Each structure stands twice: as C-alpha cells, then as structure tokens.
Structure 1
Amino acid sequence: MSIRITRRGALFGASGLAFAAAACSSGPRRPEPEPQTGPFRHGVASGEPDQSSVVLWTAITDDAGGEYVFQVAADESFETIVFEDREERTYVTSNAISTFKVIATGLEPATTYFYRMLFNGISSPVGRTRTLPVGAVARFNMAVCSCSNYPAGYFNAYRELANTPDLDLVLHLGDYLYEYSADGYASEEAERLDRVVDPRHELISYGDYARRHALYKTDPDLQAAHAAAPWLMMWDDHEVANDAWTTGAENHNEGEGVYEERVYNAMLAYHDWNPTREPEDQIGTARIAEIGDLATLVVTESRHVARDQPMDFSTFPIADDADPDDPANRQAIADWRANEIGRDDREMLGAAQIAQIADAFGAAAGKPWRLLGGQVIMGRVETPDMIEALPGWLKFIVSKSDDLAWGYIQRSQFDIPFNLDAWDGYVAERERLYDAVREAGSDMIAFAGDSHNFWTNQLMDDDGHRIGYEFGTTSITSPSPFERVPAPGVSFSRLIEDKNPDVIRHNDRDKGFIRVTLTPEAMEADFVTVSTIRRRGYTAGSDSRWRVTRGSDGLEIDAI
C-alpha cells in the first residue's frame, strides 16, 4: 500500500526556470560525485520514518512525460523489492520540473532499506533509509545539523555527515535555506565560489521559494546527505524570513505583500521539496519520534504556531554609552528585564505544544532518554563585558567602522541577555516548559541550531534545579556572529564560558554538525568539524566529545 502526499507538476517550465547541477571538483578527502544529469538532477531523499513507513521524495526534469515507479528494496541491488508505487504523468510544458512524494508503507521496524525511482527506464540515484525501532534498542545513531547558507561556502559538513556509517536518523533543526537576495547576507564569496543564489532577488512568491529549494537540491553534498539516511526536519525562521513570528518577520515589510501569504508560499514550497509528512495547515505542531524503549524525541515548531515578536534592543531603557556604575541605570536595566523580557504572556511554543511535550515525556518516563529538538538556544547565556575584555585597539576600530557591533559592545557592560530571539527572550515560558518537564517526572536532553556556534549547556531553572543538558550545533556554512568582528588573540568563546556558569563549552569558529550515539547506558555527542568551507577539499575533526550518563542525583556529563 502507498499513500501519496503531493504531486506538484510543471513547477517550472517554458518561462526558462530550468536548473543544472552545481559544479563540483574533486577534493583530497573523498572523490566528489559528478553533477546529476538527465531527469534526476535533484537527487533523492527520505524522511519522517516511523516503525512501518517512511516518506520518499524526488524530482524529475522532463518535458515528455511517461511512467515512473518508486521502489523500496531490502538490498542495494533491488533483487528483493518490498514496496512499489507506479503511475503515469503527462507534462504540458517544456523543461518542466515536478516533485514527487509518496509514503512507503508495510515496512519492518529497525530495518535498513534502499529506494529509487525509475522513470521511463532511467533510474534515479539510490538512497538508503531506515525505519524506527520497537522494543529494546542497543544503539541508535543520529546526526544533528542546521543553518546551510548556499552562497556562504561549500556544504562540506553535509558531505562528512553522509560519510557517517550506520546512521539511523538526521535531525535538521532549521534554516535549511535562506531567503536573502544574491547580494544579501553571507554572499561576499558567492561569485568566486560559483554559488550565487537563484533567484537573485529576495524570496516572496511560491515560485521564488521553490526555485531556491531546487537550487539547493542540486548541491552534490546535500544530495549525498539526503541519500545517506532518513531526515526528520523542522524549519526555523529563514525558510520564510529572518526572525519570524506568528504575524510578521524582521525581514518583511508591507511592500512585500501580505505576510500570511508569504508564509503559505514558503511552507508549500518547503513541503514540496522535502521528504515531510504534510499537516493540513502546512505547519502543524511538534513532531514525535518513538525510538523503541530507548528514547522519545519531540521536535518543536517555534516560529509560526505561537511565537510572539522577538524583542530587540530598540526598547533598551538607557543610552548604549551610559554609565554602568550608576545605580539608576542598573535599576532601569533590572526593570526592563523584569517588565519587558520577563513578561508572563510572551510565548514561543504556546501552551498546547508544552502540554504535548509533557505528555510525550511523561509517557516516556521509563525510557533512558527524552530528547527535545528545538531551533534556538535554551540555556541561559549572558553577554560578557566586552568593554572590559577587549583590547583598546579593537574597540577603537569597531567604534569607527561598525555601529551595530559597537552598540552591542557598549551594552555588554550591563549584564544583558546574549540573544533575545532565543529562549533568553522568552524566560517566563521557558520556566513553564521546565515546570512541565519536571512535573511529568522527567528530565531531558535538548538540541538546538540557529546560533552558528557549538554549545554544551546545563539547563537550570530559576530555583537552581537542573532540568537536563543542551547541545547546540554550529552551522553547515552560515557565519558566526563573532566573524563580524576580526579580533586576533581574542577568544569570544572563552569570554562567554567565563561569564556563564551554565555554559560548559562554546565554539564560535568551526562549521560542522553533531554526531549523537544513544545507548541504554549513555548518550554521546561528538562536535564534528570541517577544516574549510571555501574549497571542496577538507579534513574532518572534532571540537569536543561529551558523554551523558545517569547518576544517583540525575543526569551527569563528562568530556571524553
């Protein structure tokens, strides 16, 4: 039996919006694949597995039509086919690109399968997928990633992810693509790297978002990562627009049309171009994956369901260069944090999602692990005093060259939150989430993306009780905010670690992903790094490795 989710035909046609695969040259680490030609130029993907089914995805570039067949087999040679879905399609436009998606059902739990599409006798690349387990699980391997900006550099981290053996699941926590124009964010090297985005303008319409997804899917490293394992995906803000919330976004204005229409366009394209199960409203709420008796994974939606507008420093109550030793200024900051940032009605997830998390974690209280996949950093992070820590020459250069960075440096004297778009801008709801987890008789391991930095944090509530630990993944290519300030000899990471007792490890330099291994006895997280994103050849390394176990007083963490 098969369940068809969507068939978007003739997405691009006679208007000339055809796509070729991204150019690629051999690197010393791994032989690079040739660019895809023929009808399957965008690779294959699988996603959102459960114990008996998985979503399969591909796209076809063709103007003649014909018969296609999705096949799933128990072996890579396709001698034992366990699922087949067959249909015919007639195209009405030239050079059309159509996406295809089907749920392959009737599969066995904890089983590796191989899949492909045949179109008029031509085979797509072969992908590997795997169903979720039931019952006892000795080991489960995941990769956690986020923030892939096409013009910023090559997706070497995706290539290294694809090289990970025995991968059961890829957890992608958002910013799969970026909405900016060709001269926008992180595009300084795009021309030299031959990674200029298409379309060249900012994304607004359905066609805009679909074209950008299509461009990303021509990248050979991303194709390899999708073909290596099933993905469980959740968007962050840039799949629509920067710093998005339920009714708007920082990177949206009235001249760009009705915001709700932009969200609809972006979400429709997201589902068309990814191996997702589609909720009726294209957004839905949290996704839950049951990993046998080993773990329950809840992945939250944090942008379009409940989020209030992120705060920024436009409401900062005193001048950036005010005297930090003046008691009146200190009181103004304290009042601002309590009455603005700390407002009880500010939401990111909403009550319904928090209840969903509590129910899922309560039901999983007997399992070794309860995992929460979010988008933004949950741990408490205060900004270190940059005025005190930075050398005078650097402060002088920044004050004369970068107003935004200089304002941040000046405000850092006042013990302010590091990122108001993260959970530090939604502190009351964070406490409600912690309360719900604790009342469910649970603890948790949280994963986050968004920040373009690696993090290891302990999650502490306002009363000093540990709720769990957090591992934040760096980006695939998107630049760290600290790259804005060239500061030889200055370790921003060390400043953050020294300032914040809840931050165990911070890395503001490297690109990569987190490799996670779950067993009944321990959870291990390896911060995998790549040496460069400016050329195809790279070497892989490890920033740090962490092991979480359960001791007499709850979860314990050690560097390994």
Structure 2
Amino acid sequence: MAPWPVSEQLFGLGVASGEPDASSVVLWTRLLPSATAPLLRPQAVHWELAHDAEFQQILRRGEALATSDSGHSVHVLAQGLDADRWYYYRFRCQGQTSATGRTRTAPAPGAAVAQLRLVYASCQRWEHGYYAAWRHAREDDPDLVVFLGDYIYEYASPSSAAKQKHSQLARLQPLAHAVSLQDYRDRYALHKSDPDLQAMHAHCPWLVTWDDHEVEDNYVGDYGVGKVQAFVVKRMAAYQAFYENMPLRASVAYKQAGLRMPAAGTPLYRQQSWGALADLWVLDARQYRDLQACRTATEKSPASVKAADCADLARNSRSFLGWEQERWLAAQLASNSAAKPESRRWSVICQQTLFAARAFPSGRTSADTWDGYPAARQRLLRAIGEAQLRNTVLLGGDIHQNYVCRIQDPEGEHPQRVLASEFCGTSISSHSGTTQARVDAIVARNPHVLLARCDERGYGLCDISTKLWTTQLRVVNQPQYANSGAHSLARFVVEDQVAGPQWA
C-alpha cells in the first residue's frame, strides 16, 4: 500500500502548468507507480492542448516519455501559442486520462495590459493543517500563482501514539525524515495527493521557487547539519525531486528527450514579464547564500544573534543571494528604470522571506532573514534607489506571518523616503512558532511595519492595474479542517508612483 492517500490512477498526482511566456507554457504531470502498475519500463505519455475544455478544438498534441530516471515526471513545452489567452490540456497513458488542466500564456512584451490577478503563497507543512487556503485561492480565480518556497517539509510526523501530545496537528503521515531521492519523491507525492492543492495547480499556471525545507531547515549553499559531503549528496537528491515535481521551463537543466537534472549552481532565478504592466523577478535565496552569521558550517544555524557578540553579522562580503545573482538583479532593475519608454509599470521582486528590517525588543537579530545579512540588504536597497523604478513591490514568505511594510533606506541620502512596498505572506498551513503579543511588541518598535500578524494561515491576493495595486490578506478560519471558510484579514493599496502601502 502506498504511504500517501491516493488512488491507483496513473495520474493520481494531478496536472500542473507554469512558466508562461507570450507563446508557450510548460505542462506537467507525474505518473504514479503502484502495486498493480509498477512502471518498470519507460511510458509514452500523450498530451493535448485545446481551446476548449471539451477538447473539440485541439490546437497542439504530442508525446513525451516518462522514465524512472525522472521519477516518471513529464515536462512538455507547448509552443506556438497565442499571447494572453487561456487554454486547456490533458494527458493520456495506458488507457487512462488525466484531469483537465487550465492554463494561459502571458501578454506579449510591451502589450497594453489592464489587469493581472496573482496569488502569492508559501509554507505548506502537511501535519499542521489542511489546504483549504488553496480551495479559496482557486475561487478567487487568479491568472498566476507565485509560490515562494517550502512546498514540502522534510520532517517525519510524531508517532500515532504521540498524537495526543500534539493536539495542534491536523493530520499525520508515515514517511521517514527525508534523506534519499525516493524519500523526497514520496514527500512530493504526499503533498500532491491533497485535492485542493491539485485543483489549484490545474486552475492556472504557477511560478515557483524553493526555500530551505525542500532540502533541510536553514541550509545554505553546500552547508546543512553534518558532514559537507553527505549533505551535498542529500541536497542534490532534493533538488532532483524538486525539478521532477515542479512545472519548470526547459533550460540548461533539461533536454527535450527527457528531464535531465541540474548540476549544482544551475540558476533557478529568472524574470517573468506581463506585457507592459509588470516585471516579476523570481529569486533563489538558498543555493548561493553565504552562511548565517556566527554559524559553524556543519551545525544548525542559530535562530538569532546579538550584534555585539557576532562581528560576522556586519561583514560586507556576506551575500544573501550570491554575488552573481545580486549583479543580475541590479542589472535587471536598472533595465526597468521609469525613464525608459519600454519599462514596465510595476517591478515585483519575488523572494523567500521578510526583507524589511526588524528591531526586536530583545536586541537580538534574526539570523536567517535579510536582517542577518544587513550589508546585502543595503546593496539591494541601493540598487532599487539607483534604478529609479516607477513602482517597486517585494513579495515574501517563510516566516509564517503576514507583514505589510514600507521599505526605506536608513543609510541613504533621504532616510525617511519610501522606496518600495512589501507584502510578506503567512503560510498555507505551517504554524508560526510565536505569539501575537511578541509580534505586537515588534510592531511597536518598527514604525515602517503597518501590519504584522502571526495567528492566521492563508495567502495573498493581488489585483494589479496600471493605476493601483491592491493586496488582500486572505486567511482561513479553521486551518485544521479541510472545509474551512475564509475571509479577508486586511486590504492595502499601492498607488501608481506613490511608494508604500496604504490601508484600504
């Protein structure tokens, strides 16, 4: 019996799409081996893309090979499509047909676009809650989902006998702590067995990046807990499973004959345009990052440090993104200067965690967020300021809390000037690990923080037009129940050429 609650269907893990541009989109599925269909040989998977959900107007069709080397995943690049329109797709194999997926292409570069609706989300630990948030996000009908990391968690559940000691857990799972490639494949299969997550993947294209729990808590670069060589082997297994299970565009990591796994250092960061309305930059804050301040390479990172006891914290040579990615992002921002006629209206930096500085009452500094890399944050602030962008918005996740912040440059020529807006989202299901009283104490010391809440799970819903950006913080009422309702905790707007979020 499989360790996750799925049927014997080959397509029991659903379908997905992602990485849309103006003429193509990636279509994804993964065949699910079972006791009755072990999939020992490569399988021919047929795909179709149509104008209509009934597949009466089929536009493209083809065949892809699902092999054990790629976890029986299929990544199809459907090309030659019209810009800015919706399509439907499905897969067939061994007489079975997948669920129907809906996807779309992006508007043509420079095209006038009136609206973009996107959902941003992160952090969906299985045991901590059901995925009702995804059901409500689907009802909100976005054009695009931006997923900012922690799609899976590598941990094992407490034993069933210990469940009473963990009353906050919504559900358990039998998988071991992930170490091997098969462990990580099983973890993705577990998460993808959730019907609300499957339905959201099938509803619209996704842009995805990773954070730490796709590999190991608080890892950076080549360093996790334990010997470096053993960790690197585990990390590459985790990276392979991530690529197998995400609808990622073909690049140096892929070949059309079949999925080929990336070597260490293969870039995941990239740019996504949406006509003349927006440029989105999706970043990778794990693969190239320097060690957290005052961390021993083979030991776990401290949660926080005291600046007086940790000279490493202020060291200018430490990078949060890695130097090559830093330079790439600065150049991308400069290319979107408002002074250039081809610039996009909104510059959107999609990254993993909270960017805004936080002064804690304890005097300590968070080690794993941008607070732990103040020189790197200052370099990005400088790049944003020098680029003179029309509108800059940062999206983040990781900390399992909703934060809405004005981004200022305290070391700049005008320290009170607001450079950008930040919306750092709470988790889909993962617990926050703090209390609202502690969060309120942080807000009291940080006037640039407009809102901070740790006690809700959910996602962010953004409606972006030429004149206004509106963000709703959507939260579920009872995350421990799959049928939970949801509501909007708060609403903020960012006006065109007026930096900083405002309560709405």
TM range (shorter): 0.7 to 0.9
Which residue matches 1:147? 123
Pick the aligned partner of 2:102 from 111, 116, 128: 128
Is 1:267 the counterpart of 2:251? The answer is: no
Q: Aligned to 2:325, what secondary structure does the other structure show?
A: helix
Identity of matched residues, %: 30
Q: Aligned AA for 1:123?
A: T
Distance 1:41 1:334, change over 3 A: closer
Which residue matches 2:423? 471
Normalised TM-score (structure 2):
0.86
Distance 1:198 1:80, change over 3 A: farther
Pick the aligned partner of 2:5 from 6, 17, 21: 21
Q: Aligned AA for 2:448?
A: D
Which residue matches 1:101? 75
Q: CA deviation at 1:335?
A: 4.1
Q: CA deviation at 1:532?
A: 1.1
Which residue matches 2:407? 459
Which residue matches 1:370? 347
Distance 1:344 1:90, change over 3 A: closer
Q: CA deviation at 1:364?
A: 2.2
CA offsets 1:514-548 (integer angstroms, 9 cap, x no match): 00111000111100000112122211101111100
Q: Aligned to 1:72, what secondary structure does the other structure show?
A: strand
Which residue matches 1:295? 278
Q: CA deviation at 1:91?
A: 8.8
Is 1:172 the counterpart of 2:119? The answer is: no
Which residue matches 2:496? 550
- Residues 462 and 471, structure 2, Cα contact 8 Å, conserved in 1: yes
Is 1:49 the counterpart of 2:24? The answer is: no
Q: CA deviation at 1:188?
A: 5.3
**2-side partners of 1:258 and 1:204: how far apart?**
10
**Greater share of helix:** 1
- Residues 406 and 501, structure 2, Cα contact 8 Å, conserved in 1: no
CA offsets 1:68-91 (integer angstroms, 9 cap, x no match): 311111111111111111257799
Higher mean C-alpha displacement, 528-537 vs 228-237: 528-537
- Residues 115 and 127, structure 1, Cα contact 8 Å, conserved in 2: yes
Which residue matches 2:302? none
Distance 1:76 1:440, change over 3 A: same
Distance 1:132 1:482, change over 3 A: same
Which residue matches 2:301? none
Distance 1:496 1:109, change over 3 A: same
Q: Which ranges of structure 1 fall in alignment gaps of 5 or more residues?
A: 1-15, 23-35, 315-331, 385-411, 484-489
Pick the aligned partner of 2:218 from 233, 238, 243: 243
Q: Aligned to 2:488, what secondary structure does the other structure show?
A: strand
**2-side partners of 1:358 and 1:351: how far apart?**
11
Is 1:343 the counterpart of 2:315? The answer is: yes
- Residues 381 and 502, structure 1, Cα contact 8 Å, conserved in 2: no
**2-side partners of 1:531 and 1:499: how far apart?**
29
Distance 1:88 1:147, change over 3 A: closer
Q: Aligned AA for 2:5?
A: A
Q: Aligned AA for 1:118?
A: R
**1-side partners of 2:470 and 2:148: how far apart?**
19
Q: CA deviation at 1:349?
A: 0.7
- Residues 296 and 361, structure 1, Cα contact 8 Å, conserved in 2: no
Alignment of 1:403-552 (within 5 A): 412=362, 415-417=363-365, 419-442=366-389, 444-463=392-411, 464=415, 465-482=417-434, 491-551=437-497
**1-side partners of 2:13 and 2:201: how far apart?**
11
Q: Aligned AA for 2:242?
A: Y
Normalised TM-score (structure 1):
0.78
Distance 1:506 1:86, change over 3 A: same
**2-side partners of 1:175 and 1:90: how far apart?**
26
Q: CA deviation at 1:228?
A: 1.1
CA offsets 1:142-182 (integer angstroms, 9 cap, x no match): 000000001111111112112222x1110000000111122
**1-side partners of 2:20 and 2:379: how far apart?**
30
**2-side partners of 1:130 and 1:476: how far apart?**
24
Q: Which ranges of structure 2 fall in alignment gaps of 5 or more residues?
A: 254-261, 297-304, 338-342
**Superposition CA RMSD, Å:** 2.6
Q: CA deviation at 1:37?
A: 4.6
**1-side partners of 2:384 and 2:441: how far apart?**
31
Q: CA deviation at 1:269?
A: 0.5
Q: Which structure's CA Rg is the greater one? A: 1
**1-side partners of 2:171 and 2:451: how far apart?**
32
Q: CA deviation at 1:351?
A: 2.4
Q: CA deviation at 1:492?
A: 3.1
Which residue matches 2:196? 221
- Residues 333 and 383, structure 2, Cα contact 8 Å, conserved in 1: no
- Residues 198 and 215, structure 1, Cα contact 8 Å, conserved in 2: no
Which residue matches 2:226? 253
Distance 1:127 1:198, change over 3 A: farther
